Structure 1
Amino acid sequence: PGPGDCQVDALAVGGSTIVSAVALRANGDLWIATYGEGVYCWRKGRLYQFGRDDGLDSEDIYDLKLDPEGHIWAASDAGICLLRWREDTKDIRQINSSHGLPDDIVTKLLPHPDGGCWVGTYEGGVARCYWQDEQVVVETLPAWPGGLITSLAQVDQRSLWVGTRDQGVLVYDFQRASWRNQQHLSDPPQRILQLLFDQEGLIWVLSRDKGLCKVQPRLEVWNELSVTPQAVAVDSTDRLWVGTQEGLYCLLPDKARLEAKSLGQSLNIISLYVDVYQQLWIGTFGEGLFVFDPRHEQLQAISPSQGLSNGSILSINGRGKELWITTLGGVYRSSARPWSELSQLRFDKPVNSKQMETDFLYFTYLDEAGSAWFGTDGYGLRCLQKDGQLCSYKFAADSLPIRSVYSITKDGQNRIWISTDNQQFLVLERDTFRQANLPLTLNHGEIANLSTDKQGNVVVAHKRGVAVYDIHTEQLVDYHHLSDRHVFEPVLNAICRDSRGNLWLAGREQLVYYLPLREAYRQQPCIHLDGVSIYLRRIDFEHRHTFKASENNLIFHYDGVWLSDPEEVSYYYRLAGFDQDWIATKDNQVVYSNLPPGAYTFEVMATQSDDFSTALPKATYTFRIRYPYYLQPWFIIGAGLLLFFFFRQWQLRREYQLQREAVLHKDKVESQYETLKSQINPHFLFNSFNTLVALIEEQPRAAVTYVEKLADFYRSILQYRKQDTISLAEEMEVVQDYYFLLIQRYQDNLQLDIDELPTHCHIPPLSVQMLIENAVKHNVISRQRPLCIRIYAQDNYLFVENPIQAKLTRQKSTGLGLSNIQSRYALLCNLPVRITQHQDRFTVGLPLICE
């Protein structure tokens, strides 16, 4: 199932049965241990029970484990049950005290890395059981101190931690083959419930009396000592010798307490060394050099007459029988001798003061190649090679000066490391020192000691604790908080290694025992992305990676799990596509507001030191913010096409409108011309003047009216010829004037019948007059055949209707009258001009243009 999905199947193993443990094999078999009903196995869709009927000696199962080889081990009060399937047949094998178990009641199991299991019993202690040639081999750990075992945890390949019901935690050391009480907690718990060894190499102790405790098994710390160690050394029996201002002390292998040694005199001891004869060499401040025999507890002084002229011994080191003594008066060399021959010792100076440029040296380090390295006070580093050549190192890369050198060591890659007075760490590569990639910040004036562990890693003792630089992964792990006061004040070069490669470090009223683990454990916090919020609202970021343009305010929640020291976790993050570089922070969330549209990748790394490297594990989240719809390509293309379409339509409409206006203007000019032509027709004028002459002779007053009407008619032609439309009333006035002129000629033989017409409509100017003129022009008008022209409105049309009384001789017609009217209407409205000709009637319908 994916994140957020859960599928639960209920297995009926008894309503009140206590399930004590479960184990899942790689083939899908689920094994369930119960207290009272034996062991169940869910296999191939069915639930099987392993009980007494199948050969199980006890159905009270305390623990169930799957070993690395795939065997099922069940712990009961009748020993161990080995369960398996042989094809489809149950197979049970019992192991009890008759097979070598120290007790028949087995309370706890722990898979062994090499196969089989560790077995914890009720009272008999611990044993290891494993398969060999189809037989189970039982190996019991000796000298069990006693106690009911409640939990087991194996720490690396070094020790087995055993939790008991009433006697706390007991530790079995594989190398020493002995038991001891754990010495990591000052107030250790006693009633242990559970032990856990995690991926960081930590031990977690859950108890009834102290709750949950965390133990760093790499470090054992002795705080608030009654004395301040100034020098340390370890002999072949792993006894720790401690030199102090008050004298000599010894920490026995059980590490229970510091024991003062009587030397017969008060010595301020500042350096210690154990030679090949297991004699302890003691360097003092101003009181000379001494040799102590631990077996007989005898002390012998080295006389100045033996060549050692300075009595302040800053450091003692050796290689085989060779001895190197560093004093305030320079470096001396000799060879170790047994106790009876100490008086024959002679010291010489391998390097004179002029070559060294100073007699004040802090430390002498002897490497495996036969070279001797000297840390001076203010004059850099010197190296006396095996062939006697003296090399001087006063500058590092980039002209960085090397002055006082406090501590020297060589790592597993044969590189020399030094710590200097300006709080820097330098490493020698290709005969040049450069600044080491140690993300460790020291305070001004702080002294740091250097050494290497048995894996060749560089160990740094500094004010906050112990830091280990892994030369293979180039990662620094800083172990802080060695005590409640959170301060460790290392004594200069008070550091030594025991026979197992573990380190002793001395501090102010403190001792630290560093035990490096063999296996590789997590060295950096485990970083993971907890969630993503948009406007403070959590989203399902594992399934959602695309957001709208308005969803551009994001909060990223992350966490770096570093149980060794959670307060030291810091983060580096960046938003690829937005940030230019990585950003450091101690916060476990980051806010990005108003992100522009685009593709992004959020990356975050966690570190437990000041180290920043892109090689650190990352948690990433890739997402995309969409562009707003108005910036989407489809919208831009669509909008562009739409704008182009509307522009083109406007352009075509504009061209069409201009064409219509041009046509209308042309038709209007032609209409005006034709109208003027028709109205100024010589025949019309001739007839009009003849009628006027007759009226003048017979009816002078009527002649005056006739002239006025004739003038009004031609004035109307001139007035309306430039307009597109005129009102229907104005058109009817023109028609009445024109009709008045015609009836003076035709008298009652011409009749005009005008119905009631709408007052709010318009028509093209002189269009009705033109139709009346056409009717008069093409039809016979006489007393026997009078012409009656009717004008009426119907269905938004104005109709002009006349009977067809064709003349015997047809007058020539241009046909422009009706054509001009039709063209003008086509430009003014969408309704057509209706022309209807029946057998005896001719009708023209003009659309009314109403407001």
Structure 2
Amino acid sequence: MNRLLLLFIFLLSVNLAFTKHIKKSFALNQIENPKQIIQDSRGQVYLLSDYKACAFGVNGTENVCRDFEQKIKELIIFEGEQSALAVDDRLQLYKNKQLQNEIFIGESIQAIAYFDKHVFIGTTNGLLLKYHIQNEKLDTLKSFEQAFINDLLVVDSVLWVAYDHGVAVFSAKDFTALTQISLPNKIVNRLLDAADYGVYAFTEFGDIYWYAANYDLLAHRKMKVKLIGASSHRSNSYLLAENACYELNEGLSLDLLQEGSFSAIYALNNQLLLADENSIHSLDVTQETITAVQDCFSVFAEDDDLLWVGSKGKVFLLEDDRIKMTINLPGKENKSRSVSSIYVSDQYVFAGTMGEGLFVFNKSGEFEKQLLIEEDNNQKNIIQMQFNNQKLWVAYLNGVISLDVEKLQVIRNHSDIIGSNYLYSIKSIDEDEFLAGTSVHGLLYFKNNKLRELLADRSVFAIERSKDALYVSTENDGVYRISPASLKAEKISQQNKVFSIHSIGELLLLASENDLSLFDPKSNNKFDLPDIGLNKMQFNSTYSTDQFIFIGYSNGVLKIDKSKLKALSNLSVYLFQPKLFNDEILTGNNKFSAKENTFTFHFQTYNYYRPENTFYKYRLLGLDSSWQLISQTYVNYYNLPSGEYTFQVAAGYAADFIPTEYAEFPFKIALPFWKKPIFIILVFVLLAGFVYAFIKWRESQILAKSKMERERLRFEFDQLKNQVDPHFLFNSLNSIIDLIEVEPEVAIDAVAKLSNTYRSILEYGKIDTVDLQTEIKLAEQYFQIHQLRYHDLIRLKIDNLDVDLGYRLLPLSLQFIIENAIKHNQIDKKHRLTIKIYKEQDYLVVENNIHAKKQTVASTALGIINLKKRYAQLSAKELIVLKSDDLFIVKLPLIYG
């Protein structure tokens, strides 16, 4: 058995209808006796019978149905796109129309309710259970012995349980028992949320019990009808009986809404959906039509139930939609006679006509007097009447007259200030202050016998005064708002030929000849009420009381409840839980990491009358504060930077609407770790430490280099000093002189070598390193000069060295060691000096035998120390000095490269 409910859904588009008159119906060919209609937050509709579930396309087309083998008990919808379906002994959970889980209960389910991630389940055996959606745990809460659980209702975190013979109330959070209401011999089979008024409990035998939020019984009534269904929205409650649909009032009285045999009901905003075996019907509950009188030219309401209507040659008094009295205008009957305006005082009924002046009757309907027939013919055409400051202001074709309503006398005639204009409307402000709408010269403002012309060169039709402003309609230039203080005019709407304007709080009801519209001056939202057959409305065919607006037209009088009409002006937007990378965000989560920065926002509104005229505006505060117009119902944001944001979305009936109410979702994207203050501080500290260490290292390098330079200079100076030592130079020159006569060629060669030695001191003494081959050559050259004196008493042995490996030494270091060996040893035929140079691993070893002189020679320890320091700066290996009884060894580190 396939238990997957194909929940194909649709947005049901319906039109405004008369109360007691169904306006629109959709045929059903595939489902019999539907028992439940329900809409989700998107306006999508589900229709269920005992063994079938159906969904319908717009206007009832493209319907899709699914049969079930087991009995469907109830469907509930929660958190936007999630739902729970009770099918006999199983609970099915859906998300985004996909079956997520199926739970076997083991008992036949009778009712379900949702609260905070839990589904409460009531069974036919009296078991009350709770299923935890997140941890998939089923708990038994209570057992009502020998009783059915018939209905469950959660209101303000309180769980109401209807069972046979009573009602039990628990905390929905922790299931603490709050109260137990016992109703012996009564089977409570339905509960209904009464919003701020509490909860209604209905019994199988027609009783209504009204309980307050503190569980006290407020009222009880026995109905004369059998209850089939019930539904509520906000503070409005509706009942479905065998042959009619009713509105349940606060005093438990029933107002008939629609006759007919229906099997299911659902209320949302001011719209009722009713289902029978053949159709889904839409029913508007904002207004009713009084059809006792036809051709209504003018209306005046003494109170909400007592209405005076002017028609063709007659005035009717209606009470509760019934004609209580008919007044015939005196004189010869004429089909063209019409009562153009009505005013009713405590004593008299004033009926203005077109062409016959003003008729006055007493409250019993007896004729008293006919006024405004003695002057020119223009006064016989009464346009409008308004009572203010103990005067009845009467606007006729081209003037204004003020009347004493008790003495029935003219106080003043203002025809001299109107001129040749035709006058359409009048609005009295104070004792001698009024506004007049004219056909040519716009709006005339009269005060203290002074006239001021506003909205010149326009035809002004209607004038309305609200708490803070004046509103004026024109024939061809829209609707204006005028400041009472400065009299500055501002156009607020492009709608033309508005015959009357009525303020409903901050809203305006605009009535033209054949249609009505609601307009919000703050948001520019204009809601056109659908075509309901209104036609031939006149300048005085509308009248407003505190609660109702009465609109007369050719087929009767439309009575509109202001409080219910207000709900139509603004489109409430439902913002679904946003998605992060196409994954739905958990409810309550609005903090995200730096990588979680791509969002999709879905939203929907309820525009059942004009779904094609719905416009959306959105913005993301923190990124852009300007509103963006859009027609689709979703918005994507990609790679948002870190920061705090608030997504806002509003809906309106026009593209130029100004958002005043909106749904919003605040959220925060965290900084990446490398932008967090602690990381920045750490980096700054590390950078500062690095800079400090670098500076110290640089200082040490400079000092070391300076020190090395000083030591190098000292070494060069020592070398130069040694080489220019008078003894060395004197001995070398003497040896050369001795050779000049004997071996002149050798002498010349010796002079060249001596010259090269001093040149090498100057040339190589200024560089850091010299290649091994050059250093060996310099050492041999230096040694040969000493051989001029010592001949074969000194010997230099150099092993075969691989000078092509790129080894380097400190310049003149071998010369320094050779000079040191000659200087500190006794050299004669008995004590010959042998100096050996050879390679040992990464060292160049200089070794000489020791025959110390008997006379002490100044030590060269300082020279060796300086040489060590210079090598330490150029090589990781240190210079090694070894001394024994017969050998002195110096190991010079070979520097590669």
TM-score norm. by structure 2 comes to 0.67
Partner of 2:143: 49
1:68–1:111 CA contact under 8 A, matched in 2: no
Partner of 2:298: 231
1:319–1:366 CA contact under 8 A, matched in 2: yes
Deviation per residue, 1:188-211 (Å, 9 max, x gap)? 874231333x5x5x2432524477
Q: How does 1:660-699 map to 2 (within 5 A)?
A: 660-661=708-709, 663-677=711-725, 680-690=728-738, 692=739, 696=741
The SS at the match of 2:424 is: strand
Q: How does 1:334-483 map to 2 (within 5 A)?
A: 348=410, 350-358=412-420, 360-365=422-427, 374-379=436-441, 392=451, 394-395=453-454, 404-411=459-466, 413=467, 418-420=472-474, 422-426=477-481, 429-430=484-485, 432-435=486-489, 441-443=493-495, 445-451=496-502, 459-461=509-511, 465-467=516-518, 479-483=527-531
1:156–1:517 CA contact under 8 A, matched in 2: no
1:191 to 262, 265, 268: 262
Partner of 2:338: 269
For 1:331 and 1:291, locate their aligned partners in 2 and report how far apart those are by CA, in whole Å. 18
1:495 to 542, 545, 562: 542
For 2:247 and 2:845, locate their aligned partners in 1 and report how far apart those are by CA, in whole Å. 124
Which amino acid is the alignment partner of residue 668 of structure 2? F
1:326–1:364 CA contact under 8 A, matched in 2: yes
Partner of 1:710: 750
The SS at the match of 2:719 is: helix
Quote the offset at 1:794 in angstroms.
1.9
The SS at the match of 1:493 is: coil
For 2:445 and 2:178, locate their aligned partners in 1 and report how far apart those are by CA, in whole Å. 73
Partner of 1:207: 275
For 2:849 and 2:506, locate their aligned partners in 1 and report how far apart those are by CA, in whole Å. 130
For 2:195 and 2:582, locate their aligned partners in 1 and report how far apart those are by CA, in whole Å. 47
2:796–2:835 CA contact under 8 A, matched in 1: yes
Which amino acid is the alignment partner of residue 462 of structure 2? S
The SS at the match of 2:803 is: coil
Partner of 1:94: 183
Sort the Cα spacing of 1:465 and 1:205 in 2 relative to 1 into closer, same or farther, 3 A. same
For 2:795 and 2:479, locate their aligned partners in 1 and report how far apart those are by CA, in whole Å. 128
The SS at the match of 2:758 is: helix
Partner of 1:140: 222
For 2:215 and 2:875, locate their aligned partners in 1 and report how far apart those are by CA, in whole Å. 111
1:459–1:469 CA contact under 8 A, matched in 2: no
Is 1:74 equivalent to 2:162 in the alignment?
yes
Quote the offset at 1:23 in angstroms.
9.5
1:323–1:334 CA contact under 8 A, matched in 2: yes
The SS at the match of 1:681 is: helix
Deviation per residue, 1:590-627 (Å, 9 max, x gap)? 566776x6644335252546797786456252435747
1:180–1:254 CA contact under 8 A, matched in 2: no
1:574–1:604 CA contact under 8 A, matched in 2: yes
Sort the Cα spacing of 1:512 and 1:538 in 2 relative to 1 into closer, same or farther, 3 A. same
For 1:757 and 1:192, locate their aligned partners in 2 and report how far apart those are by CA, in whole Å. 115
1:753–1:788 CA contact under 8 A, matched in 2: yes
For 1:415 and 1:618, locate their aligned partners in 2 and report how far apart those are by CA, in whole Å. 29
- Equivalences, count: 772
Quote the offset at 1:674 in angstroms.
1.7
Deviation per residue, 1:277-327 (Å, 9 max, x gap)? 99876554446666899999x999958766684443323556899765433
The SS at the match of 2:334 is: coil
Deviation per residue, 1:805-846 (Å, 9 max, x gap)? 233344566777656655654555444433322223323333
Quote the offset at 1:717 in angstroms.
0.5
Which amino acid is the alignment partner of residue 492 of structure 1? F
Sort the Cα spacing of 1:565 and 1:639 in 2 relative to 1 into closer, same or farther, 3 A. farther
Partner of 2:107: 16
If asked which structure has higher relative contact order (CA below 8 Å, sep 6+), I would say 2
The SS at the match of 2:750 is: helix
Deviation per residue, 1:85-122 (Å, 9 max, x gap)? 9x9999663355xxxxxxx7765444667978656566
Sort the Cα spacing of 1:459 and 1:628 in 2 relative to 1 into closer, same or farther, 3 A. same
The SS at the match of 1:151 is: strand
1:326–1:363 CA contact under 8 A, matched in 2: yes
Sort the Cα spacing of 1:281 and 1:837 in 2 relative to 1 into closer, same or farther, 3 A. closer
The SS at the match of 2:563 is: coil
Partner of 1:755: 799
The SS at the match of 2:847 is: strand
Which amino acid is the alignment partner of residue 162 of structure 2? A
1:710–1:741 CA contact under 8 A, matched in 2: yes
Partner of 1:341: none
Quote the offset at 1:495 in angstroms.
0.7
For 1:114 and 1:207, locate their aligned partners in 2 and report how far apart those are by CA, in whole Å. 28
Quote the offset at 1:520 in angstroms.
9.1
Sort the Cα spacing of 1:47 and 1:621 in 2 relative to 1 into closer, same or farther, 3 A. closer
Sort the Cα spacing of 1:352 and 1:366 in 2 relative to 1 into closer, same or farther, 3 A. closer
Deviation per residue, 1:36-82 (Å, 9 max, x gap)? x247488xx97333334xxxxxx345445689998967365xxx535
For 1:749 and 1:322, locate their aligned partners in 2 and report how far apart those are by CA, in whole Å. 152
Quote the offset at 1:707 in angstroms.
1.9
Unaligned runs of 5+ in 1: 53-58, 97-103, 183-187, 338-344
804-813 or 536-545, which moves further after superposition? 536-545
Sort the Cα spacing of 1:336 and 1:119 in 2 relative to 1 into closer, same or farther, 3 A. farther
For 1:66 and 1:784, locate their aligned partners in 2 and report how far apart those are by CA, in whole Å. 125
The SS at the match of 1:483 is: coil
1:393–1:402 CA contact under 8 A, matched in 2: no
Which amino acid is the alignment partner of residue 754 of structure 2? Y
1:789–1:800 CA contact under 8 A, matched in 2: yes
- Alignment root-mean-square deviation, CA: 5.9
For 1:317 and 1:521, locate their aligned partners in 2 and report how far apart those are by CA, in whole Å. 30
Deviation per residue, 1:623-666 (Å, 9 max, x gap)? 35747949974446645654564466456535533553454244
Unaligned runs of 5+ in 2: 1-77, 85-89, 92-102, 131-138, 171-175
Instruction: Please tell me whether Structure 1 or Structure 2 has the larger radius of gyration of its CA atoms.
Output: 1
Sort the Cα spacing of 1:586 and 1:284 in 2 relative to 1 into closer, same or farther, 3 A. same
Partner of 1:149: 228
Quote the offset at 1:394 in angstroms.
3.2
Sort the Cα spacing of 1:849 and 1:260 in 2 relative to 1 into closer, same or farther, 3 A. same
Partner of 2:238: 161
Which amino acid is the alignment partner of residue 315 of structure 1? Q
Partner of 2:885: 839
For 1:629 and 1:686, locate their aligned partners in 2 and report how far apart those are by CA, in whole Å. 80
Question: Which structure carries more strand by proportion?
Answer: 2
TM-score norm. by structure 1 comes to 0.70
1:545–1:624 CA contact under 8 A, matched in 2: yes
Is 1:328 equivalent to 2:416 in the alignment?
no
For 1:117 and 1:687, locate their aligned partners in 2 and report how far apart those are by CA, in whole Å. 134
Sort the Cα spacing of 1:619 and 1:307 in 2 relative to 1 into closer, same or farther, 3 A. same
State the identity %: 19
Which amino acid is the alignment partner of residue 287 of structure 2? L
